[in-house]
Amino acid sequence: MADNKNAGLQARKDAATPRGVGVMCDFYAERAENAELWDVEGRRFIDFAAGIAVTNTGHRHPKIVAAIREQLDRFTHTAYQIVPYESYVELAEKIIARAPGDYPKKAAFFTTGAEAVENAIKIARAATGRPGVIAFTGGFHGRTMMGMALTGKVAPYKIGFGPFPSDVFHAPFPNPLHGVTTADSLRAIEHLFKADIDPKRVAAIIFEPVQGEGGFNPAPAEFVRALRKLCTQHGILLIADEVQTGFARTGKLFAMHHYDVVPDLMTIAKSLAGGMPLSGVVGRADIMDAPAPGGLGGTYAGNPLALAAAHAVLDIIEEENLCERATALGDRLKAKLIALQGEVPQIADVRGPGGMVAVEFFKAGTREPDADFAKRVQTRALERGLLLLTCGVYSNVIRFLFPLTIQDAVFDEALAILEGVLKETVGVTA
């Protein structure tokens, strides 16, 4: 009775794990290779989710597997704060050399993106002696208490979990499709300074260069310049959250390389270690040194297996020209979606730098977000073996996070599935 393995596992999952851990798929992974995965019943899927932007270098890249195996033969854990190891220091050196900004920098490593964000806020507060933080609507910064406070989307992340840490304020993020201009956002920040918090009490402004969960909304260049100017004027630190945008996804190693200004601190995670849990904060050396010894760290922070994987990831990005490939694949996908706009009137916008592409849906002939259409496209694609993720404040956006190492034939197969699903879904109401 091999054909009911998924159903059996689903029943066990429902009995043993809480409903708060939302799970998109009702099938269970058996194995994966590059941009494909197979479930326990042998069905094949093309992975355009990449573990939520974690496997930019694909599933089980041979260089990553080899690096982890080599480290396994040496040691798996000492706790870096107890007995340090060279791979941590060497990765910090590599990240420092590659991060934007020609000032002296330092880097520290943690485990998850939320940990990186938490520590960036801790560092900013220690460096400035100020409590306040400004974030943006639509932003996503994690599921910890501070991460939720910073996140600008209520459902499902904040419901029932308050109260949240104080001195966190939100301003609207530029989104021309929804009528929010850069000027609107900047006016809102100035209003915060007048109505809610003295800028002299603000430690940091944190933003995503391209909002992830918020809908793959790129920050306009003039907006980032204005944030930099505002921060410099008031002694506020600018934090770029590159957890989802980093490591070649946008066509640059980091999304901030698309801009002509630099942040003071930057958070990294997700594809940093090709599937292994690793995150970090990199920034100005004097700011990074603000916390006292023992103020930063974590038992598993900078795990040696994850560090080994991260060294391999940086080599793969360079050797396989993944920044350029991200742009080439993203351009092909955007061209396909734009060409379909005439046949799929629900397509309101196609956007995103490099391989960080999204399509947003409105109800045909209106300016009303169409979450139902996005969900039907996602469901139909999954039925045909293509994994897609939705996002956006209105859940009406599909984001594409294919591994940048995906084979051309598999990518073309996925585009054909996507085109068929979009055309089929037009006019369907249930």
User: What residue ranges of the chain have pLDDT lower than 50?
Assistant: 1, 430
Residue 290: exposure state from Cβ atoms within 10 A (0-12, 13-18, ≥19): middle
Cα–Cα dist 374/303, whole Å: 38
Q: What is the pLDDT of residue 1?
A: 42
Place of tokens 């932007």: 53
pTM of the complete model = 0.96
**Residues labelled catalytic:** 140, 241, 270
Beta-sheet pairing, 357-361 with 397-400: antiparallel
Cα–Cα dist 130/125, whole Å: 5
CA dist 186 → 174, 256, 344, 357 (Å): 9, 19, 35, 26
Cα–Cα dist 78/86, whole Å: 12
Q: What is the pLDDT of residue 155?
A: 86
For 136, phi then psi, to 5°, come to -130, 150
Three-class secondary structure assignment of the chain: CHHHHHHHHHHHHHHHCCCCCCCCCCCCEEEEEECEEEECCCCEEEECCHHHHCCCCCECCHHHHHHHHHHHCCCCCCCCCCCCCHHHHHHHHHHHHHCCCCCCEEEEEECCHHHHHHHHHHHHHHHHCCCEEEEECCCCCCCCHHHHHHCCCCCCCCCCCCCCCCCEEEECCCEHHHCECHHHHHHHHHHHHHHCCCHHHEEEEEECCECCCCCCCECCHHHHHHHHHHHHHHCCEEEEECCCCCCCCCCCCCHHHHCCCCCCEEEECHHHHECECCEEEEEEHHHHCCCCCCCCCCCCCCCHHHHHHHHHHHHHHHHCCHHHHHHHHHHHHHHHHHHHCCCCCCEEEEECCCCCEEEEEECCCCCCECHHHHHHHHHHHHHCCEECEEECCCCCEEEECCCCCCCHHHHHHHHHHHHHHHHHHCCCCC
Q: What is the pLDDT of residue 430?
A: 47
Q: How many Cα atoms occupy the beta-carbon half-sphere of 349 within 13 Å?
A: 22
Question: What are the tokens at 106?
Answer: 């330092």
Q: String of b and e for 45-66 (b: at least 16 CB within 10 Å)?
A: bbbbbbbbbbbbbbbebebbee
Write out pLDDT tens, residues 111-161.
999 999 999 999 999 999 999 999 999 999 999 999 999 999 998 999 999
Residues 6+ apart with CB under 8 A from 80: 88, 109, 297, 301, 302
List the domains of the chain with CATH numbers.
2-60+321-425 (3.90.1150.10), 65-319 (3.40.640.10)
